Amino acid sequence: MEPVNIGVVGLGTVGGGTVDVLHRNSAEISRRAGREIRVSRAAVRDLDRSRSCDTSGITLTNDPFEVANDPDVRVVVELIGGETTAFEIVMEALEQGKHVVTANKALIATRGNEIFRAAHERGLVVAFEAAVAGGISIIKILREGLAGNRVKQLVGIVNGTSNYILTGMHERGSDFEPMLREAQALGYAESDPTFDIDGVDAAHKLTILASIAYGIPLDFSAVYTEGIGTIQGKDVSYAEDLGYRIKHLGIARRRGNRVDLRVHPCLIPETHLLASVDGVMNAILVEGDAVGQTIHYGAGAGANPTASSVVADIVDVVRTLTADPGNRVPHLAFQPTALTSKDVTPLGDIECAYYLRLLALDRPGVLAEIARILGENNVSIEAIRQQGTKNNDGNVSVVIVTHKTREMSMTRAIGAIEALPAIAEPVMRIRLDTLEA
Ligand code: HSE
């Protein structure tokens, strides 16, 4: 069969890695795809810059639309990120009858509904395995491998940068800033690292995973999102003392007719497999009614792991070039006409346990007042500890772990505790989850 020409938009970390992998493994890739795959065209921002990958045989341009409009290109690989120019390039490629591969989670999470509609109308594929969890083939697993299941819950460590930072705080007692700088230097962080730290990147990924798991349209705005910026070294070590690790989680959990969609830091038992997912590694727990709990682990970021998923998508698309569009796996796992919206649990209605850290005056009766407020709000205490010695103002840290309760009750209790004269600063609240459906 004729070789297939592909065009790559963006030769940064992931684009360079993709060209490398395609060159390095070209013989095996051709055997898998049934024909040779070659990068014939690529768009870069600066034509004069030296490149990490070998660009011989590739016609370079600084106009990405030239790639989307190139009549010799069958598949456009969008690797520039962002939601504006990337959207225009993808829509232009579809308009020109080209299949698309993208690693762009922000694009899929926020504009995926429009993009998939346009692709479906034209009988084209938009593949996005690399948009979630780098090298882990979680889209394929959910969409195909677990297609027989009713998904009960999906819990993921899906942001490598946050996981890298939390791991450094745990293992090295490091501060937040140096760990973030390291993650940036290693190429894991987004160009705007607040996306990693504030949980936006994880929320983009959870939006995509939840849609595929539950057959709901993509709705990024429905995800409650909290980052790791407020976690202090002492929270990490107090959690350890209690037998927990703090991880930044994306949680999509079926709850009756509703689904919880939330991204936030969370204490999890140190004995759980997810607790030992460290550094830039990602892992996603998927629990289906038939299969039970499964955990999928691998590198969540970086040039080669992400390129592994991009190239797998390219191979998939090339294989389907000759297939009837009606026989392809639907973009969001469910047939487009079968996607149905689901109510998302309002934050106040979620139920979980909590870790609370308070700075309280070390004098008789203070703990009794705190316990009274918790009790009045239907919050039951599992453990309580005074940590360290009192500071110069006579205040001491108190850590409380509660049993499961409603977020609404916890919020009310925290408000009342903060109003006590003996409480010196806002209460630190971190949710705690045993990861059972
Ligand atoms: N910034 C992302 C992360 C890269 O840290 O996981 C992969 O999406």
Tokens 């299949």 — which residue? 99
> What pLDDT, on a 0 to 100 scale, did the predictor assign at position 81?
94
Our CA dihedral for 263, 268, 271, 272, rounded to 10 degrees, sits at -30
Q: Is the pLDDT of residue 43 over 90?
A: yes
Does the domain formed by 349-432 have CATH 3.30.70.260? yes
Q: Could you tell me the two tokens for 198? A: 């504030």
Neighbour count for residue 219 (Cβ, 10 Å):
18
Q: Is the pLDDT of residue 323 over 90?
A: no
| Separation of CA 213 and ligand 1 centre (Å) | 21
CA 312 to chain centre: 19
> What pLDDT, on a 0 to 100 scale, did the predictor assign at position 436?
86
Q: Is the pLDDT of residue 437 over 80?
A: no
> What pLDDT, on a 0 to 100 scale, did the predictor assign at position 150?
97
Could you please state the CATH topology (level 3) that the domain comprising 138-298 is classified under: Dihydrodipicolinate Reductase; domain 2 (3.30.360)
**Is residue 83 very low, low, confident or very high in pLDDT (cuts 50, 70, 90)?**
very high
Mean pLDDT is lowest, of 130-144, 171-185, 416-430, for 171-185
**Is residue 302 very low, low, confident or very high in pLDDT (cuts 50, 70, 90)?**
confident
Residue pair 398/248 in contact by the 8 Å Cβ criterion = no
In CATH terms, the superfamily for domain 4-134+303-337 is: NAD(P)-binding Rossmann-like Domain (3.40.50.720)
> What pLDDT, on a 0 to 100 scale, did the predictor assign at position 325?
82
d(CA 22, CA 26): 5
DSSP string, 99-136: EEEE--HHHHHHHHHHHHHHHHHHT--EE-GGGSSTT-
Name the residue at shortest CA distance from atom 8 of ligand 1.
301
**Torsion sign over Cα 407, 410, 416, 420:** negative
Domain borders along the chain are 4-134+303-337, 138-298, 349-432
> What pLDDT, on a 0 to 100 scale, did the predictor assign at position 34?
94
Query: Within 13 Å and on the Cβ side, how many CA atoms surround 254?
Result: 16
> What pLDDT, on a 0 to 100 scale, did the predictor assign at position 191?
79
d(CA 201, CA 106): 7
CA 123 to chain centre: 29
pLDDT in tens, 102-111: 999 999 999 9
Question: What letter does residue 232 receive in the DSSP assignment?
Answer: -
Q: Could you tell me the two tokens for 370? A: 């705190």
Average pLDDT, the chain: 95
Angle (deg, nearest 10), helices 26-33 and 303-320: 30
Indicate which atom in ligand 1 lies nearest the CA of residue 159.
6
Question: What letter does residue 365 receive in the DSSP assignment?
Answer: T
| Separation of CA 300 and ligand 1 centre (Å) | 6
Average pLDDT over residues 310-323: 94
Mean pLDDT is lowest, of 7-21, 166-180, 285-299, 363-377, for 166-180
Tell me which of 164, 165, 188, 191 to substitute to probe ligand 1's pocket, judged by most ligand atoms within 8 Å of the beta carbon.
Answer: 188
d(CA 407, CA 420): 20
105 assigned to active site: no
Q: Is the pLDDT of residue 90 over 80?
A: yes
129 lines ligand 1 (CB under 6 A): no
Question: What letter does residue 143 receive in the DSSP assignment?
Answer: I
pLDDT in tens, 45-58: 999 998 989 999 99
User: Per the confidence metrics, is the pTM higher than 0.85?
Assistant: yes
> What pLDDT, on a 0 to 100 scale, did the predictor assign at position 192?
85
DSSP string, 1-36: ---EEEEEE--SHHHHHHHHHHHHTHHHHHHHHSS-
| Separation of CA 161 and ligand 1 centre (Å) | 6
Tell me which of 129, 161, 200, 204 to substitute to probe ligand 1's pocket, judged by most ligand atoms within 8 Å of the beta carbon.
Answer: 161
> What pLDDT, on a 0 to 100 scale, did the predictor assign at position 205?
98
Average pLDDT over residues 160-185: 92
Name the residue at shortest CA distance from atom 4 of ligand 1.
301
Residue pair 8/54 in contact by the 8 Å Cβ criterion = no
> What pLDDT, on a 0 to 100 scale, did the predictor assign at position 266?
98
Nearest 5°: the CA angle 203, 268, 353 is 90
d(CA 107, CA 400): 40
pLDDT in tens, 403-416: 999 999 999 999 99
Annotated active-site residue in 205, 234, 247, 342: 205
pLDDT in tens, 228-280: 999 999 999 999 999 999 999 999 999 999 999 999 999 999 999 999 999 99
The distance between the two most distant Cα atoms of the chain, rounded to a whole number of Å, is: 83
